[in-house]
Amino acid sequence: MKRFSGYLGWCIGLLVVGIWFVGWGGGRATRPWGAEAANVNPQSERFGLSVPLSTPTATSEALAKDEEGFIAIFDGKTLNGWDGNPELWRVEDGAITGQTTPEKPIKTNTFLIWRGGEVGDFELRCQYRIIGGNSGIQYRSFEKPEEWGRWVLGGYQADIEAGDRFSGILYGERFRGILADRGQKTMIGPDHKPKVLETFGDPAQLQKHVKKEDWNEYRIVAKGFHFVHYINGQKMAECMDEDTQMRRAKGLLGIQLHVGPPMKIQVRNIRIKHLNQSEEKTSSAAQPALVSGWMTSTEAASPSGGEKKKRIVFISGRPSHGYGGHEHYAGCMLLAKSLEQLPGVECKVYKHAWPDDPKALEGADAIVIFSDGGGGHPILPHLDEVEKLMQKGVGLVCLHYAVEVPKGKAGDAFLRWIGGYFETYWSVNPFWKAEFKSFPDHPVCQGVKPFAIEDEWYYHMRFPEGMKNVTPILTAVPPDSTRQGRDGPHSGNPVVRARKGMPEHVMWVIERPDGGRGMGFTGGHWHWNWANDNFRKVVLNGIAWVAKIDIPADGIPSKTPTWEELEANQDFPKPANFNRAEWEKKIAEWNKPH
């Protein structure tokens, strides 16, 4: 009897374990939404075990501490720093939770928007869980509240879906539609449409990596205009956006609630790492120290008479054309180094992007932008912000490609701010040797001697009617061969072809009615050209003049940079076939006494 009772007890125990295994570990529909379920490792659930995936104390902050360079943007307790419809968004079980119900439907897609600043180049990591419907992580996005209403975004989206079709894709919300499907590597061209470059995975097989109604890890990498989405460590979509008219370099971050049937989206442990957006100073030990966040020379730390220091902010664009070409950061560093030697002058250089700090431009006397332009110009998302600075008399300088912005709002602003701009289908961008034989009587020209140099000198800029308030600084006659390009946004047009033998302005300045000053300079393609003493001097003079710094009779002094200084801070490695001797010969010829 005792043996039978023991055997019966053993069978009953086994039966209970089996029922528990089927009802809990084997079936997900019965799993509760509570905190306990939220912290169970789904791999352990399969075997009826309860092993924590992330305990309640494993918050975004804790995870970020273990990941170099990452910061938490959600505290796990409140929606501080986030902005959305309070009737739809809350914090539940340590996760941002958005939910629609039959009683609370929505008429259009709505978003919870992170108000901690815009994101440019970044890596974002988070965990998500979705029940029903569609959602997504919105990035580099924009608002049009007067047109769309409050809490609505357009821009790039890392898609999330309860179904089997869209998870992981790159979608353009109010922004060109599907940009890369799951399993695709695409490139978006000037026609605004994606072209498939590679199919690296089967969409159905990739979908199997997504856990339904369970926690998934999303990883989003945006660097330059190259975007990659990963779910649970598996690459889902990749895209390169070469649509210079529409692509976005920076913008807002948000989480979507999609119009349609009732749904629930939860996102937790949200961490972000900003890539190449730190403000940096020159590396030499002899360089100025960082004082109150500004780069300051020893002399400038105690200017005579206690006058306010002149502050110049440099914004360098992303890496672009390869070694020695469009070296935005290296060029900014060279120019800043020279200006820092002036008494009472402070410079700050931001690397590869518009500064994230909303106070970065406060107190600036001049802003210098050396970057790629067109539809990817870093200033485009900040036009309203810059307009306010211009109205206060802050100066603006744009170098090389940074003189090009789209026609319309941005172009009209540049006419006011710097006195001209590169307008597509009007201006051209050939390489040619410009000879500057004479200069106007203007402070920017002080100490500048006649010189000639080959560069990608853009010309036939769009200027204000009658050149109002604008003074041309560098003017030359381009070879007729540079006017023969076929019609195109940069190559040629009938007006340019009709101007054979006529002079063209490639550097200019403006004195604005608001008291501010501006400057445009179309040279600067070749980094080595900064070693031409007159080329460098006229640009330094121009920046100083825009910042309202008195210019000496001989111009802003600066030493010819050494070869080591020219090579410093470049974005690309030196190619094996680079001909240093050829450039050294040119530099010696440029600067020899005449």
Tokens 């672009």 belong to 320
Which of 259, 274, 289 represents a domain boundary (last residue)? Answer: 274
Residue 9 lies in a domain: no
The amino acid at 488:
G
Residue 473 lies in a domain: yes
The amino acid at 574:
K
208 — pLDDT class (breaks 50, 70, 90): very high
Helix axes 580-591, 533-546, angle to 10 degrees: 70
Residue 323 has pLDDT above 60, yes or no: yes
| Tokens, residue 23 | 């009802």
299 and 231 part of one domain: no
The predicted structure's pLDDT at residue 128: 98
Q: How far apart are CA 413 and CA 409, in angstroms?
A: 6
The predicted structure's pLDDT at residue 60: 60
Residue 514 lies in a domain: yes
Instruction: Write the CATH number for 140.
Output: 2.60.120.560
Ranges 216-225, 252-261, 301-310, 433-442: which has the least confidence = 301-310
Residue pair 559/566 in contact by the 8 Å Cβ criterion? no
Output phi, psi for 568, to 5 deg: -70, 145
Q: What mean pLDDT, rounded, does the chain reach? A: 85
Ranges 48-62, 76-90, 519-533: which has the least confidence = 48-62
Residue 16 lies in a domain: no
Residue 257 has pLDDT above 60, yes or no: yes
266 and 294 part of one domain: no
Residue 579 has pLDDT above 60, yes or no: yes
Residue 31 lies in a domain: no
240 and 307 part of one domain: no
Residue 36 lies in a domain: no
pLDDT (mean) for 292-308: 40
Residue 564 lies in a domain: yes
69 and 187 part of one domain: yes
What distance separates the 2 farthest-apart alpha carbons in the chain? Answer: 119
Q: How far apart are CA 34 and CA 408, in angstroms?
A: 53
H-only helix segments in 392-532:
409-417, 494-497
Give 129's strand partners.
266
Containing domain of residue 98, as a range? 52-274
DSSP state of 481: G
pTM of the model: 0.53
Task: Kindly state the percentage of the chain with pLDDT values over 90.
Answer: 71
254 and 286 part of one domain: no
pLDDT (mean) for 146-160: 95
The predicted structure's pLDDT at residue 268: 97
DSSP per position, 370-411: ES--GGG-TTGGGHHHHHHHHHTT-EEEEEGGGGB--TTHHH
Q: How far apart are CA 251 and CA 148, in angstroms?
A: 17
Which of 217, 240, 274 represents a domain boundary (last residue)? Answer: 274
pLDDT (mean) for 92-105: 95
Which runs of E-coded beta strand occur in 18-57?
none
Instruction: Write the CATH number for 306.
Output: 3.40.50.880
Name 432's Cβ contacts closer than 8 Å, sequence gap at least 6.
454, 455, 457, 478, 479, 482
The predicted structure's pLDDT at residue 309: 83
The predicted structure's pLDDT at residue 58: 54
The amino acid at 371:
S
What's the structural domain count of the chain?
2
The predicted structure's pLDDT at residue 574: 86
pLDDT (mean) for 119-131: 96
Output phi, psi for 565, to 5 deg: -70, -35
Residue 417 has pLDDT above 60, yes or no: yes
Residue pair 255/137 in contact by the 8 Å Cβ criterion? yes
Residue 14 lies in a domain: no
Which of 274, 309, 338 represents a domain boundary (last residue)? Answer: 274
Q: How many CB atoms lie within 10 A of CB 59?
A: 19
265 and 337 part of one domain: no
Q: How far apart are CA 201 and CA 198, in angstroms?
A: 9
Residue pair 417/391 in contact by the 8 Å Cβ criterion? no
363 and 262 part of one domain: no
179 and 224 part of one domain: yes
Q: How far apart are CA 18 and CA 37, in angstroms?
A: 20
335 and 193 part of one domain: no
Give 140's strand partners.
none
Q: How many CB atoms lie within 10 A of CB 199?
A: 11
303 and 362 part of one domain: yes
178 and 82 part of one domain: yes
pLDDT tens-place string over residues 1-41: 433 344 444 444 444 434 333 333 333 332 333 333 333 33
303 and 228 part of one domain: no
Q: How far apart are CA 525 and CA 502, in angstroms?
A: 23
